[in-house]
Amino acid sequence: MATIGIMDSGSGGLSVLKEIVRLLPADKFLYYSDNANCPYGEKSAEFIQKRCREIVSDFLAQGADAVVIACNTATAAAIAELRKEWPDVPFVGMEPAVKPAALGTKTGVIGVLATAGTLKASKYLDTRDHYAGDVKVVERVGRGFVELVESLQLGGHLAEATVRESLEPLLRAGADTIVLGCTHYPFLLPVLEKVAGPDVRFIDPAPAAARQLVRMLDSRGIAHSQPHDPALQDVTIKSSGQSETARRLLSLIW
Ligand code: DGL
């Protein structure tokens, strides 16, 4: 079985882990939440690169066969550097799902919710310019979303008011398809759907990242479990701050 290292600035990457274990139920997972430094959204690319290098070194020392950067912000800031530093290690990053959103919209307007770091990174801007075509793309930072998830406020008045503030400009612009460009945001999906109403579709890129991981393991001949195997739930959580949030979220999604 394979050992997979998965990292995020906090607990958001658990939304990606959830999709990965659907495909690889009996593999071993090392999850790192850098929550002492969360959020990454406004941090410099240099700082994020340094943290990613330290966390990846730790995964490799524990025998990781592959690494998932389950954070859009860290993918944009650091994955190219990581691939250069460890050319033999399979890395999977998070891609903002502009392509499926642009193909699926009926109004011709799509929304992207992400961190400030992701929205200004050339990785995102290149993807958007390549796939948007004639579709109008409206972007907003999910202001306060990461903090809501890290404090486990996944519903209620504050969550709804916070979500409404960033989501309404996208709805007013006519977006019918909205990309969740930060791995924390899927935990707020029930609130996002409540505020947006039934005519708006949200796209979470986590299932595509999970499929990409399996393709990468296969192409490198790394043995792994299959979706029908019994789940081992072999997840070790480490964090730079307190680990309670990640553990509680993990028990919620399992
Ligand atoms: N979950 C992360 C992302 O996908 C990071 C959010 C943050 O730390 O600002 O962008």
- Tell me the pLDDT tens digit for each residue of 157-170: 999 999 999 999 99
Instruction: Tell me the average pLDDT of the chain.
Output: 96
- Count other Cβ atoms within 10 Å, centred on residue 199: 9
d(CA 16, CA 93): 10
pLDDT at 127 over 90: yes
Question: Tens digits of per-residue pLDDT, 9-63?
Answer: 999 999 999 999 999 999 999 999 999 999 999 899 999 999 999 999 999 999 9
**Token duo for residue 223:** 């043995």
How would you list the strands of the sheet with 28-33, edge to edge?
91-92, 66-69, 3-8, 28-33, 234-239
Determine the length of the chain.
254
User: Among 92, 47, 80, which residue's Cα sits nearest to residue 183?
Assistant: 92
Question: Tens digits of per-residue pLDDT, 180-206?
Answer: 999 999 999 999 999 999 999 999 999
Kindly give, in sequence order, each residue whose CB lies less than 8 Å from that of residue 202, ignoring residues fewer than 6 positions away. Answer: 177, 178, 179, 180, 189, 192, 193, 196
Q: What is the pLDDT of residue 253?
A: 84
Q: Which residue has the tokens 């290292």?
A: 5
* Partner residues linked to 239 by β-bridges: 33
Q: What is the pLDDT of residue 243?
A: 87
**Token duo for residue 158:** 């504050």
- Longest CA span, the chain: 49
Residue 52 bears catalytic tag: no
Element (H, E) at 202: strand 201-203
Q: Tell me how far apart the terminal alpha carbons of the chain are, to the nearest angstrom.
A: 21
User: Among 80, 89, 74, which residue's Cα sits nearest to residue 40?
Assistant: 74
Q: What is the pLDDT of residue 177?
A: 98
Cβ proximity of 129 and 225 under 8 Å: no
Ligand 1 mutation target, pool 6, 72, 141, most atoms within 8 A of CB: 72
Task: Assess whether the C-beta atom of 183 lies below 6 angstroms from ligand 1.
Answer: yes
Task: Assess whether the C-beta atom of 39 lies below 6 angstroms from ligand 1.
Answer: yes
Q: What is the pLDDT of residue 254?
A: 78
Q: What is the pLDDT of residue 92?
A: 98
Task: Assess whether the C-beta atom of 68 lies below 6 angstroms from ligand 1.
Answer: no
d(CA 204, CA 15): 9
Lowest average pLDDT, out of 90-99, 156-165, 244-253, goes to 244-253
For 35, the 3-state DSSP assignment is: helix
- Mean pLDDT of the region 216-239: 96
Instruction: With cut-offs at 50, 70 and 90, classify the pLDDT of residue 154.
Output: very high
Task: Assess whether the C-beta atom of 71 lies below 6 angstroms from ligand 1.
Answer: yes
Residue 217 Cα to ligand 1 midpoint, Å, equals: 25
Q: What is the pLDDT of residue 234?
A: 95
d(CA 50, CA 63): 20
Ligand 1 mutation target, pool 6, 7, 8, 143, most atoms within 8 A of CB: 8
Residue 205 Cα to ligand 1 midpoint, Å, equals: 14
Ligand 1 mutation target, pool 15, 32, 40, 149, most atoms within 8 A of CB: 40
Element (H, E) at 212: helix 206-219
- Mean pLDDT of the region 141-149: 97
- Mean pLDDT of the region 133-142: 97
Q: Which residue has the tokens 């486990």?
A: 152
Instruction: With cut-offs at 50, 70 and 90, classify the pLDDT of residue 252.
Output: confident
Element (H, E) at 32: strand 28-33
pLDDT at 139 over 90: yes
Q: Which residue has the least CA distance to atom 2 on ligand 1? A: 71
Cβ proximity of 95 and 208 under 8 Å: yes
Task: Assess whether the C-beta atom of 209 lies below 6 angstroms from ligand 1.
Answer: no
- Mean pLDDT of the region 125-149: 97
Catalytic option among 30, 67, 71, 78:
71
